[in-house]
Amino acid sequence: MAKTSFAAGRYSALALLRGALGGHRHWGRAWRAAEPGGPYDVIIIGGGGHGLATAYYLAQVHGVRRVAVLEKGYIGGGNTGRNTTIVRSNYRQPQLQRMLDHSLRLWHGLSDELNYNVMFSPRGALFLGHSDADMVKLAERGDALIAMNIDAELMTPDAVAKLVPLLDMRRDARWPIEGGLIQRRGGTARHDAVAWGFARAADNLGVDIIENCEVTGFLRDGDRVTGVTTTRGDISGGRTAICVAGNSGHVAGLAGLKLPIESHTLQAWVTEPVKPMIDTVVMSQSLHCYFSQSDKGGIVGGGDPDMFPSYAQRGAPIRLEESIAQCIALAPALSRLRMVRSWAGVTDMSFDGAPIIGEMPLAGLYLNGGWCYGGFKATPGSGWLYAHLLATGENHPIAAPFGLDRFASGRTVDEAGAGPMPQHR
Amino acid sequence: MLLIPCPHCGPRNQEEFAYERSVDSLVRLDDAPGVAMAALYARANLRGEDHEIWVHVQGCGQWLRLTRDRVTHAFRDVEAL
């Protein structure tokens, strides 16, 4: 791939060295503070990772450069900065496997492509099994993944103990560990850097990133959407793209539309930074908790969502306690650490647990949302697929199963097999 | 954390309750397919006040209708069903 040139210069070891000699005074803004302009070819509502990735791939892959990204707050202030940074593609349904492995392949070259260190660390994503039934389920999932050419490796209890010595492997542990399933290409990334890297690269290609600009309504010409009204004035464009997962219901409501989505709160927490103690992402889907160690040293973890609709970016202590209790039972050493922060994000819980990418019932309006609490891992892939839809007007074959029409036609992608309810698992 | 005013038991901890669904998701037996479809899959999902059905599962077991603000978490109305 040809290296992207940056107007303000590429980031490199040489640039760092030159900066050191000059007292680091030459570093400019990573992206312009763009003013609303237009008309644009594409208006993207939402300056999170997905929206910024969409803008980048629109400009980079499709040559569509008259693009605006509207962000109600600041870049990296929403769910992009609130997740637990886990990246993996080991899903069960083939539609999700195809989509998330496409994304995972983009992750593996992302720092080079963006000329920005997103600190992607494929350290392995491990699911634990706690019973014979769990192991049968994990083996079945592993087989399904391998059949799709996605890496999966079933592990014995001894292999799990060797990989993560902190785990409580006693037979009489609260949740005995009977083995695991690991995806070694999975791992973590620095979430803020992903947003910043995409923002800088998109801006460099001419995309206007407009912060503190909240969409308040849609400009209409009959049944066609022709732009948006915002707190910074009206902005018109050819295609308007909603990309605000967490708030999809609210923004669709501004156009008078309803979605198969409920907004729920999901919490996460981090401990004080300590020396390296876990170099794998550990997850249990039977319990539903997950933890890993950030590059700064904090143990980052989370669990179930709060299980009731909420747009408040704060959660109830009962869920926090649940996920922490589970993590501590699995790795008792964690009990000695102090928690320094917990926070919450608002997630789009879709009614089959899968994302929605496609056209809306109004011409010129598109949706990318419904990521439940699995959106971060999909950031590059979601942007790439959404850019394809916005540039060509047609969903890419990988995104085709995720159209909004799948609910009416009964072709849901129901990973949990739980029917028409906001999926909790 | 919510302190939910159960009409039968008085204010109780959120942990005793389960959120069931929003009121606009009720499907009636004689609904036309399009109406039933909308009730199953289309949500107003308001960033503000909405109506919800909860169950006091670990209390009196009764069903409640809550009118609740989804940003401030304030209750405006609770009624027994």
The set of residues, in sequence order, having a beta carbon less than 8 Å from that of B38 and lying 6+ positions away, is: A258
CATH 1.20.120.420 is held by the domain B3-80: no
pLDDT at A361: 95
Dihedral through CA A185, CA A187, CA A188, CA A194, nearest 10?
A: 20
CA-nearest of A36, A52, A366, A51 to A212 is: A36
pLDDT at B24: 87
CA-nearest of A321, A263, A337, A317 to A289 is: A321
The interface predicted TM-score (ipTM) is: 0.95
**Burial A70-106, CB ≥16 within 10 A → b, else e:** bbbeebbbbbbbbbbbbbbbbbebebbbbbbbbbbeb
Domain residue extents for chain B: 3-80
Taking the Cβ of residue A420 and every Cβ of chain B, the question of whether any pair is shorter than 8 Å is answered with yes
pLDDT at A9: 80
A7-19 mean pLDDT = 86
Interchain pair A253, B45: CB under 8 A: yes
Taking the Cβ of residue A347 and every Cβ of chain B, the question of whether any pair is shorter than 8 Å is answered with no
Residue A254: CA atoms inside 13 Å, Cβ hemisphere, count?
21
Find where tokens 């992903």 sit: A194
Radius of gyration of chain A (CA): 21
pLDDT at A6: 80
pLDDT tens-digit profile of A285-337? 999 999 999 999 999 999 999 989 999 999 999 999 999 999 999 999 999 99
Taking the Cβ of residue A74 and every Cβ of chain B, the question of whether any pair is shorter than 8 Å is answered with no
Residues of B in contact with A258 (CB under 8 A): 38, 42-45
pLDDT at A2: 54
Q: Which of B38, B41, B71 sits opposite A312 (nearest CB)?
A: B71
Pairwise CA distance, residues A410 & A424, whole Å: 20
Q: Three-state DSSP class for A362? A: coil
Taking the Cβ of residue B19 and every Cβ of chain A, the question of whether any pair is shorter than 8 Å is answered with yes
**Which residue of chain A comes nearest to B69, CA vs CA?**
A310
User: Considering chain A, what is the average pLDDT of its residues?
Assistant: 95
Q: Which DSSP symbol is given to A245?
A: T
Domain residue extents for chain A: 33-117+190-262+352-409, 125-186+263-346
pLDDT at A424: 53
Token representation of residue B73: 């978490």
Interchain pair A253, B50: CB under 8 A: no
For residue A3, name the pLDDT band (cuts at 50, 70, 90).
low
pLDDT at A425: 41
What is the share, in percent, of chain A residues with pLDDT greater than 70?
Answer: 97
Residues in chain A, how many? Answer: 425
Pairwise CA distance, residues A300 & A273, whole Å: 10
**How far is C-alpha B32 from the chain's CA centre?**
24
Pairwise CA distance, residues A118 & A115, whole Å: 9
What's domain A33-117+190-262+352-409's superfamily in CATH? FAD/NAD(P)-binding domain (3.50.50.60)
Q: Are A352 and A403 in contact (CB under 8 A)?
A: no
pLDDT at B30: 94
Pairwise CA distance, residues B17 & B12, whole Å: 9
Residues of A in contact with B50 (CB under 8 A): 309
Q: Which of B1, B18, B43 sits opposite A258 (nearest CB)?
A: B43
pLDDT tens-digit profile of A32-71? 999 999 899 999 999 999 999 999 999 999 999 999 999 9
Q: In Å, how far are A58, A72, A130, A329 from A133, measured between CA atoms?
A: 45, 46, 8, 20
Q: Which of A253, A307, A308 sits opposite B44 (nearest CB)?
A: A253
What 3 state SS string does A35-80 have? CCCCCEEEEEECCCHHHHHHHHHHHHHHCCCCEEEECCCCCCCCHH
CATH of domain A125-186+263-346: 3.30.9.10
What is the share, in percent, of chain A residues with pLDDT greater than 90?
Answer: 90
CA-nearest of A186, A181, A162, A158 to A87 is: A186
Amino acid at A257: L
Pairwise CA distance, residues A356 & A349, whole Å: 11
